[in-house]
Amino acid sequence: MKKKNKFWFSVYAGCVAVLILGSCKKQLIEEPHTVFTTSFFQTLPGIQAARTTLYSGMRYNYGPEPTLAITVMGTDEFTGADQVTAATGGQYVRSFALYGGTAPIQASDGSLLNQWNNNFNLINLANAVITYTPAVNADTATKVLYLAEAHFLRGLYYLNLVQQFGAVPVDLGSGDLQFNQTAYTGFNRLPVDSTLAKDYSAMIADFTYASQNLPDQRPANAFYLAKPIAFLMLARVYIYHGYSSQGQPSDFQNAYNAAMEVINNQGKYGVALQQDYGKVYAQGNDYNSEILWSVERLPGDNNDNEVPNQQNAAGKNNDAAVDFAPNYTDVAGAKSPGVGRQTVYGRPIRRFAPTRWLWDTCFADKYNDSRFDNSFRMMWFTNQGGSGNNGGAINYGDTAFVLAVSQAQADSFNALPGRAYGVVPPSKFWTLQNNDPEDIYPYLNKFSDSLKSNFNDFASGRPFVVGKLSELYLLAAEAAYKNGDANTAANLINVLRTRAAWRPDLSPSEIADRAAAIQVSPPQINVDFILDERTRELCGEGIRWPDLAMRGKLVERVQEHNPDGGPNIQSFHVLRPIPQSQLDAVTTKDPAYQNPGY
C-alpha cells in the first residue's frame, strides 16, 4: 500500500491503539493536547486511519533486523556473520545463531520484541475495524473491502506470532477476537493446547474470509491486498496446521485447493511467473506479476516509510540490503586500498552469512539452475582506480575481486594471464569456524538498493516481499505429496525448475537442454527435497526459520547443515521464549506461561 501523505494518520491511529492497551497512557495523560476516544472508530475517517495503521504496522514484521534475525538466522541457510560475534555490532542477535554455549536464547533477548510489543496492539486495532466497520457511513463495497483487509491483516499478525511463540492469546481482555477498550494485565494463554487450536481456527477463518472478499487483483503499482495473497496464506497455514499437534486429515487437501485456485486461474487473478528468475527481485520491477503482496516502502521517502533515523536497526526499517552484506571493502588480493563502500553493495554490517551447505550443496548445480547466480553476488567492481592501485592495472569500474564457487574455479581464475583482480577461494569464505579476517562470503543481493541517499544508510526504500506466486507452486506440491500424489508434486516443482533454466543469453535449445537436466521425478520427492527446493526458490526471504520449525525439521536440519548452531540446538528451540517483559507485566504469575526449556 502506498502511504504518501498518510503518515500522520498512521501515527494518530497507532497512538489510539496503544492507549487501549495502556502502553502509552502515561505520556498522553501528562500532555493531553487533545482527547482520542474509541468513538473515532465509529466514523469513516477513523476506520480509514486504522486501516492505514494496519498496513504500515506490517513493517515491524518484514524488513527490520531483529525480525530478520529470528526468521533467517540459525537455520540451514544462514548463520551469524563476523559482526554477530564482535564485541560491538550485531552481538545482540548472536544467540539466534548459536542457540546456546556462551550465547543461549533468553526471554530477555530484545530481538523478540519487534513483533511481540507491536502485533497485539495491531490485532486489537483490527478487532476494532471488524467491530465498527459494518455501522459506519460508507457504501457496501467500501465496507466489504475494509473488513476483508482487516481480517487478512489480523490473520497475518497472528501468524507471525504463532510461528515464533506457539500459542498466543486470542482474548486480549474482552473475549475471543473482541476489541478491548481498557488496559489489561492478564495473559490468556492457558491451556496452551486449546489456545493454539483457537489461534489456528482464527487464522484459517480470517484468511478464508479474505480470500472470498478481497478484490481479485491488486493494483498494478501499489501493494493493496487482493485474493491471491490470501489464498497463499491460507495454504501456508493449512500446511503448518497439518504438521502440528492440531492437524486434521483434511489440512493438506485444503492447502492444495487454496494454492491451486490461484495457479489454475492466473488470468483472473492477474498473476504470472516471471520468465527470468533474476527479474523477480530486480530493483525497479518491484510490482511485477509474480509478487502477490509486499510490505510497502517508497524510495527516498523516509517520512512515509516511518524511518526517522537512517542508522537505526529496529522499528519499521527495511534493513535487509545491509544485513546480508559482507565486508567487501577489505579483501586481500583486491586492488589497494580495496573497494570503497557503494550504495548498490550496501553498508557491510555483516549480520547473516550463508552456510556452506547453502552455496555448496543446496545450490550445487549452478550451471543448469540460474537461481544461485540470480540470488548471490560473487563479483565486486572497484569505485577506486588509476595510478597507485595495483600498479594502475585496475581502473575505475574494473573487476576488483571475485568469489570462486570451487577451488578448481579459483585455480582457473588465478591461472589467467594478466589477471589483476583478486580471487577468493571457498576455503576463505567467512564462517564462525574459520573466522577468516577478510569477512567475505556470497552476498544475497535480492534486497540490494542502489537508490538510498547515502551508502551508510541502513534503511531501504524498497518493498519487502511477503508472498510470491512461486511459493504457491511449492505449497501445492508439498500438499500433493502429503496426500500421496508425488506425480502432481513433481509436475508442479518442474514448472519452477523449467523457469530456473532460463537465462537471457541462451538459445531456446540450450534452455531446453538445461531444463531437461534439472527435471525432478516422483521418486525424488519427499519433505526434505521440497525444503531444499524452497531454499533454491525463496532463499533469505524471511520465512526459513518458521518453515523448518513448523514442519518439525528445524533441529534435524540445523544439526546436519549448520555447524554453528548444530552443537547447541535442542528440541525446545522450535519455539521462542515468551519475552520476560511480558511475564513481568502480568498480574497473576504462572510458570506455565513460559515455553518449555526457557
Instruction: Report pLDDT for 346.
Output: 86
Closest CA to 497 of 524, 469, 536: 536
Q: What tens digit of pLDDT does each residue of 210-269 get?
A: 999 999 999 999 999 999 999 999 999 999 999 999 999 999 999 999 999 999 999 999
Q: Is 379 helix (H, G, I), strand (E, B) or coil?
A: strand
Say whether pLDDT at 417 is over 60: yes
pLDDT at 2 over 60: no
d(CA 376, CA 330): 19
Q: Are 282 and 450 in contact (CB under 8 A)?
A: no
**pLDDT over 70 (residue 339):** yes
* pLDDT tens per residue, range 428-484: 898 777 766 778 999 999 999 998 888 888 888 899 999 999 999 999 999 999 999
Q: Which residue has the higher pLDDT, 455 or 188?
A: 188
Tell me the C-alpha distance between 140 and 102, whole Å. 58
Task: Grade residue 342 by pLDDT with cuts at 50, 70 and 90.
Answer: confident
> What does the alpha-carbon distance between residue 119 and residue 109 come to, in Å, rounded to a whole number?
17
Tell me the pairing of strands 443-444 and 422-424. unpaired
Q: Are 163 and 69 in contact (CB under 8 A)?
A: no
What percentage of residues in the chain have a pLDDT greater than 70? 89
Written as nine digits, the cell of 320 is 535487509
Per cent of the chain over pLDDT 90 is 75
Give the Cα separation of 154 and 158 in Å (integer): 6
Buried b (16+ CB within 10 A) or exposed e, 559-576: eebbbbbbebbeeebbbb
C-alpha span between 576 and 553 (Å, rounded): 15
Question: Do the beta carbons of residue 323 and residue 348 sit within 8 Å?
Answer: no
Tens digits of residue pLDDT in 436-451? 677 899 999 999 999 8
Rounded Cα gap, residues 218 and 211, in angstroms? 13
The pLDDT tens digits for 65-120 are 999 999 999 999 999 998 887 766 778 899 999 999 989 999 999 999 999 999 99
The three-state secondary structure class of 290 is coil
Report yes or no: 201 and 238 within 8 Å, Cβ to Cβ: no
Query: What are the residues whose beta carbons fall under 8 Å from the beta carbon of 11, sequence distance 6 or more?
Result: none
Find out whether 336 and 449 touch, Cβ atoms under 8 Å: no
| Measured CA angle at 295 (ends 58, 79), to 5 deg | 80
Q: Which residue has the higher pLDDT, 287 or 340?
A: 287
Q: Facing residues of 565 across strands?
A: none
The C-alpha angle with vertex 443 and arms to 437 and 449, in degrees rounded to 5, equals: 125
Integer angstrom CA distances of residue 581 from 98, 158, 575, 584: 23, 19, 17, 5
- Long-range contacts made by residues 181-187, C-beta under 8 angstroms, separation at least 24? 181/20, 181/38, 182/20, 183/20, 183/21, 183/22, 183/25, 184/21, 184/22, 185/585, 185/586, 185/587, 186/586, 186/587, 186/588, 187/582, 187/583, 187/586, 187/588, 187/590, 187/593
Q: What are phi and psi of 371, to 5 degrees?
A: -70, -30
pLDDT for residue 31:
53
Q: Are 465 and 223 in contact (CB under 8 A)?
A: no
> How far from chain centre, in Å, is Cα 360?
23
Residues 529-564: tens digit of each pLDDT: 999 999 999 999 999 999 999 999 999 999 999 999
DSSP string covering 192-243, please? HHHHHHHHHHHHHHHHHHHHHHS-SS--TTS----HHHHHHHHHHHHHHHHH
Q: 594 with 165: CB under 8 angstroms?
A: no
Q: Which residues contact 373 (CB under 8 A, 6 or more apart)?
A: 278, 366
Residue type, 445: N
Listed in sequence order, the residues at least 6 apart from 176 whose beta carbon sits closer than 8 Å to its beta carbon are: 170, 198, 202
Q: How confident is the model at residue 312 (pLDDT cuts 50, 70, 90)?
A: low
Closest C-alpha to 49, from 4, 1, 6: 6
Q: What is the DSSP code (8-state) at residue 171? A: B
Give 10's pLDDT tier (boundaries 50, 70, 90). very low
Which 3 state secondary structure label does DSSP give 381? strand
CB neighbours (10 Å) of residue 539? 22
Helices (H) and strands (E) in the chain, counts: 21, 9
Instruction: Considering only CA atoms, give the Rg of the chain.
Output: 24
pLDDT at 15: 37
pLDDT attached to residue 314: 67
**Residue 473: how many other CB atoms lie within 10 Å:** 25
Rounded distance, CA 493 to CA 473, Å? 7
Report pLDDT for 1. Answer: 47
Nearest to 160 by CA among 581, 543, 534: 543
3-state secondary structure of 440: coil
- HEC states along 113-141? HHHHHHHHHHHHHHHHHHHHHHHCCCCHH
Residue with cell 579459483: 410
